[in-house]
Amino acid sequence: MESQNEEWKEGWSDNYLDTICAFANSQTGGRLIIGKKDNGDIVGIRNFKKLMTEIPNTVKNLMNFYPSVEYVTENGKTYLIVTVEPQHEAVDLRGVYYKRSGSTTVRITGGELRDFLMEKGGLVWTNLISKEAKLSDISPEAVSTFIKRGQEIGHISSVANPDDIEGVLRRYRLMTDDGITNAAAVLFGKDPVAVSHAAVTKIGLFAKNSGRILMEDIIEGPIVFQPDETMKRLLEKYTQPRFRLKDHLTRVEAYQYPPKGLREAILNSVVHRQYMSSQHTTISVYPDSVRIYNPGSLPKG
């Protein structure tokens, strides 16, 4: 059956070049089978010999690579299999880029296209030199706190000087002679929103599912401080603890949600969010649940 990596067509049309383009842009490539109905019935094609030359040449002229084309004969009917290997570079068809979404072919546009081209070009936004921020925009407190905490738990070498801001950034490749990276700007920047609109965490308290909002907090500033500040406000304002007696003598805090679990989820939402996005992380607190959303996606594969 048709899938992410395979599509069937009864006959050939140049309109199907977009599917070949989409397969070329995927991680696994794909197969376009010509001479089959959507239900899998073989109808065959008569001009398969001509197409075996025409299709590769057309693809080469328009997309600069050759697909493999072979014919198969079953029960006296011949169909073609066009096999497309994934291409290392981004492939466009007359200036338009395509991808597979399930068993359909769709155009890549907007922010997704920007991300796609950067990925195919081997570029990572966080590693690029920031156009908006410079060394003076870095918070010394953020860098110093981060280094000291890392040294306390043994994750950062004692050689790193918490007060040497430029030295720390260069040590961890967050700064070059050309300036500071986007990663440095969002991690330690006094105003990371100037570099990334996604560098914000919003908390909202709702009366019920899809109900009106009762209270809201916006957490900004250096990313390294946001998880702690988010946890503090969640526990103090949004999910306040209840108290119970232990052994009839000791008062023990009992949270509706385990703080360690909340912290892990918040850390993940900060670490894995897509900082090229215009969206931010939102934490919606309802009477019976806490829902965390951040722009981003699962790792490919």
**Amino acid 201: pLDDT:** 94
pLDDT (0 to 100) of residue 295: 83
Residue 121: per-residue pLDDT: 85
Kindly state the average pLDDT of the residues 19-23.
96
Average pLDDT, the chain: 91
Residue 52 has pLDDT above 80, yes or no: yes
In which band, very low, low, confident or very high, does the pLDDT at 300 lie, cut at 50, 70 and 90?
low
Task: Parse the chain into domains and list their residue ranges.
Answer: 6-122, 127-194, 201-293
pLDDT above 70: percentage of residues in the chain? 95
Residue 246 pLDDT exceeds 90: no
Residue 2 confidence (pLDDT): 77
Q: Which CATH architecture has domain 6-122?
A: 2-Layer Sandwich (3.30)
pLDDT for the residue 60: 96
Mean pLDDT of 119-126: 85
Reported as a single tens digit per residue, the pLDDT across 176-231 is 999 999 999 999 999 999 999 999 999 999 987 767 889 999 999 999 999 999 99
Give residue-wise pLDDT tens across range 53-72. 999 999 999 999 999 999 99
| Predicted pLDDT at 248 | 67
Given a cut of 80, whether residue 292 has pLDDT beyond it is: yes
Residue 287, pLDDT score: 87
pLDDT of residue 3: 86
Question: What pTM did the predictor assign?
Answer: 0.70
Q: What is the mean pLDDT of residues 88-99?
A: 94
Q: Which residues of 79-101 are buried (b: 16+ CB within 10 A; e: fewer)?
A: bbbbebeebeebbbbeeebbbbe
pLDDT over 90 (residue 34): yes
